[in-house]
Amino acid sequence: MFIEKANEIHQNKYSYGHFIYSGALEKGIITCPEHGDFEQRADAHLRGVGCPQCAKNGRKKTTKQFIKEAQQVHGKLYDYSQFIYTNVRTKGIIICAQHGEFEQLPSNHLSGNGCPKCAAEKKGSTRRSHCKSKHYSASISLL
């Protein structure tokens, strides 16, 4: 019964030739076709938990995946040819067409942050236009 349920939940991915069911809370040996044998409690496996190595590999993003996601956020605004994705806590090199290379955390970039020089220029021009409009309206009110 365990093997039938496990095959249904995991779509026949694993083999259970070494698994000896001795209770839901007991560990048994399950064989992953890619990573080999691993131990896991029966109840966890029936809740959908699978091979720990497959899970670990599935969480790690590749450089190609990062670039695809970054282009979904920023379009073709940046060049990622120098970017090497290591992990979310390691900055990578991104190239702005206007200002050149800058380093940024992948998580920040995927959250919408971009070139810091472009951001500073945009912020500066917004302040200048805001000040001009305030000064302009103030001079009218003095008349």
* Residue-by-residue DSSP string for 64-104: HHHHHHHHHHHTTSEE-TT-----TTS-EEEEETTTEEEEE
| Model pLDDT, residue 111 | 86
72-130 pLDDT per residue, tens: 999 999 999 999 998 877 999 999 999 999 999 998 998 899 999 999 998 876 555 54
| Model pLDDT, residue 135 | 53
Cα 113 to chain centroid distance, Å, stands at 15
| Model pLDDT, residue 136 | 46
| Model pLDDT, residue 122 | 86
Q: Where are the domains of the chain?
A: 2-58, 61-135
* C-alpha span between 83 and 67 (Å, rounded): 8
Rounded average pLDDT over 47-71: 87
Q: Which helix (H) or strand (E) holds 36?
A: strand 36-41
28-39 pLDDT per residue, tens: 999 999 899 999
Q: Is the pLDDT of residue 8 over 60?
A: yes
pLDDT averaged over every residue in the chain: 87
Q: Which residue has the tokens 């073709």?
A: 76
> pLDDT higher for 22 or 138?
22
Q: How does residue 58 score in pLDDT terms, banded at 50, 70 and 90?
A: low
